[in-house]
Amino acid sequence: MTNPRKPLDRFHAVIPAGGVGSRLWPLSRASAPKFLHDLTGSGQTLLQDTWDRITPIAKPGRTMIVTGLAHEEAVKAQLPDLPEGNLVIEASPKDSTAAIALAAAILARREPDVILGSFAADHVIQDKKAFQKTVSEAVELAATDRIVVIGIEPTEPSMGFGYIKTGEALGISGAPSALKVDKFVEKPKLDRAKKYVESGKYLWNAGMFIAPAALLLRQLAKSEPALHAGVLELAAAWDTEQRAAVIKKVWPTLKKVAIDYSIAEPAAEAGLVAVIPGNFSWHDVGDFAAIAELQSQGRKNNLAVLGSARVLSDSSSGILVSDTKRMIAVIGLEDVIIVDTPDALLVTNKQNAQKVKALVDSLKATGHDEIL
């Protein structure tokens, strides 16, 4: 037997870049979803920020993007350093299991001992160093043949995230903060969320996980054998001239299922999942209220402005997003949300930010696809 590689040398990042982010309509669109936008005012898109955050840990050429056909050109333009072989295009949306399992299967064929880390393309983490330290520890832990999630210390009883119930410390050298995961729990109601936070045993599930690709695929084989077979068939053809033909044959058959159900939860029940608490602030910028909070950073009575519009604001707070060249005047509104795009305008406030999704659903139901 040859000397095994060090865990960090086995690490390969995967960034699934999907999801429209309909709570961010009319900024986020089917044609230009959330991750392709600068939602922080950093001058970079969320996808570019994610890339810059993870590539210092993954060795050069070891970050893969999985995205939809509609976004291929935008992703290439935004990430000029992305190797061509590391851009995986989904023929149609098949939910998170197919996206990540296909990446795992492609990478495992290229290097069987690969440790895959999956990171959403549309989250905001400002402390890169702390993030990288946490991921490094998670990679060490994953090398003990575990699925490792990153949990975030809750700062409030949020109803917008799933939670991770933590168990005993694992006491593993190289991963001193590792805890067992008792179970995953879905987005709770407020009273339950409060209990979770008070107990000190629950972390937010930030949707980041690190695991040997082979372990992920084994788990998938148990829970979704047909889907497992499908992604293996795709992966076998991926780096060959058969790719297109096999996609045409297999892709339509892939089951749509979230990776939480297909892999994470069953694996947690089987005692295979561990967590590294992430000691950094994390935002999923799920709606405009979250963006407004992120932008205001404690400044009260401040109207945050994203984009190039000329804005006149008189004692208003909230957020204004506009890339038009118009003059925009906002007078005396608290927590307002104004999103101004060439073909659509949204006006609401933080308290109603969550309702944007229902509005988009109703636009969809009434056939207004041109505006989605």
Interface positions with a second copy (CB under 8 A): 25-26, 312, 314, 326-333, 336, 338, 340, 342-349, 351-352, 355-356, 358-359, 362-363, 368, 371
- Closest CB to a second copy among residues 177, 354: 354
- Whether residue 33 is preceded by a cis peptide bond, meaning omega within 30 degrees of 0, is no
Structure tokens at 341: 């795009």
Whether 181 and 141 have beta carbons less than 8 Å apart is answered as no
**Sign of the C-alpha dihedral, residues 100, 102, 108, 110?**
negative
How far apart are alpha carbons 362 and 365 in whole angstroms? Answer: 5
Least distance (Å) from a second copy to the CB of residue 23?
Answer: 11
Least distance (Å) from a second copy to the CB of residue 160?
Answer: 18
- Closest CB to a second copy among residues 80, 342: 342
- Closest CB to a second copy among residues 6, 326: 326
Least distance (Å) from a second copy to the CB of residue 335?
Answer: 11
Whether 164 and 265 have beta carbons less than 8 Å apart is answered as no
Least distance (Å) from a second copy to the CB of residue 299?
Answer: 20
How far apart are alpha carbons 138 and 175 in whole angstroms? Answer: 7
H or E element that contains 211? strand 202-212
Least distance (Å) from a second copy to the CB of residue 370?
Answer: 9
Least distance (Å) from a second copy to the CB of residue 158?
Answer: 20
- Closest CB to a second copy among residues 158, 348: 348
Q: Which residue has the tokens 């008792």?
A: 182
Distance between first and last Cα of the chain = 55
Q: Which residue has the tokens 């690969």?
A: 114
- Closest CB to a second copy among residues 130, 328: 328
Structure tokens at 104: 């795992």
Least distance (Å) from a second copy to the CB of residue 305?
Answer: 13
Q: What are the residues whose beta carbons fall under 8 Å from the beta carbon of 198, sequence distance 6 or more? A: none
How far apart are alpha carbons 25 and 246 in whole angstroms? Answer: 35
- Closest CB to a second copy among residues 169, 312: 312
Nearest to 335 by CA among 283, 282, 296: 296
Largest distance between two CA atoms of the chain? 72
Whether 282 and 152 have beta carbons less than 8 Å apart is answered as yes
- Closest CB to a second copy among residues 226, 365: 365
Cβ-based neighbour number of residue 59 at 10 Å: 14
- Closest CB to a second copy among residues 6, 368: 368
Least distance (Å) from a second copy to the CB of residue 349?
Answer: 6
**Per-residue b/e over 40-49, b at no fewer than 16 CB within 10 Å?**
beeeebbbbb
- Closest CB to a second copy among residues 16, 286: 286
Least distance (Å) from a second copy to the CB of residue 319?
Answer: 12
